[in-house]
Amino acid sequence: MQLYHAPQAVNPERTYNFLKAKGQLDAVDIVEISIMKGEHKQAAYRNLSPFAQVPVLVLDDGTTITESRAICSFFEHMFPEPNLMGRDAMEKGLIEMWDRRVEFMMMMQFATWFRNAHPVMAPLEKPQLPEAATKAERAVKAFTARLDEHLYQKDWIAAGRFSIADITLYLTCGFCGVMRWRPHEEFENISHHYARVRDHLK
């Protein structure tokens, strides 16, 4: 298997760190792609990922899978231990609920803010929309405050144990640094969680 990976981009890092948490990085060949150099838009790469998405997983029979969470689901099935997506119906529901909340209400809102406000993204986001950036910034900060309340006296986001939801939050906090915003320094409970996940992924 080959995993096409763009270091420091949040969705590729999600699959990479999920596989790392499984202890299975040696199970795939990692192929690095530079988004800033536009390598994900070249014809050869589009043959693997028609929407120019990173990451993409290429199986031994040539089947390709995109979407970071879909790739993580594949890895969860292939490498069931340690379990990161839930062992029973309740765990699966709670973990996916919180993982999706962090993905849609934090990661994607932050990405909209970043893409429409940061000068480095101007060549890729044409036109940048300041009003979209302002709205997304307000939304992501409101959700993060609520998430910090959820984490009060909790070690992990969902089901009382380490899961993909914790990985998603950890990486999203790191991603936020590109706008000089560090939720894990601003919010006490998220700060504790961030340090806990960092240690877990060492």
Residue 21 counted as domain residue: yes
| Structural domain count of the chain | 2
Please tell me which residue, 124 or 111, carries the higher pLDDT value.
Answer: 111
pLDDT at 159 over 90: yes
- In one-letter notation, the amino acid at residue 52 is A
pTM listed for this prediction: 0.95
Residue 51 counted as domain residue: yes
Co-location of 56 and 93 in the same domain: no
What pLDDT shows up at residue 8?
87
For strand 56-58 and strand 64-66, is the pairing parallel, antiparallel, or unpaired?
Answer: antiparallel
- In one-letter notation, the amino acid at residue 76 is E
Nearest to 30 by CA among 47, 10, 11, 16: 16
Residue 163 counted as domain residue: yes
Q: Are 116 and 130 in contact (CB under 8 A)?
A: yes
Share of the chain above pLDDT 70, in %: 100
Co-location of 96 and 196 in the same domain: yes
CATH, residue 124: 1.20.1050.10
pLDDT at 123 over 90: no
pLDDT at 51 over 90: yes
What pLDDT shows up at residue 36?
82
- Non-local CB neighbours of 98 within 8 Å, separated by 6+ positions: 157, 158, 165
**Confidence bin at 124 (pLDDT 50/70/90):** confident
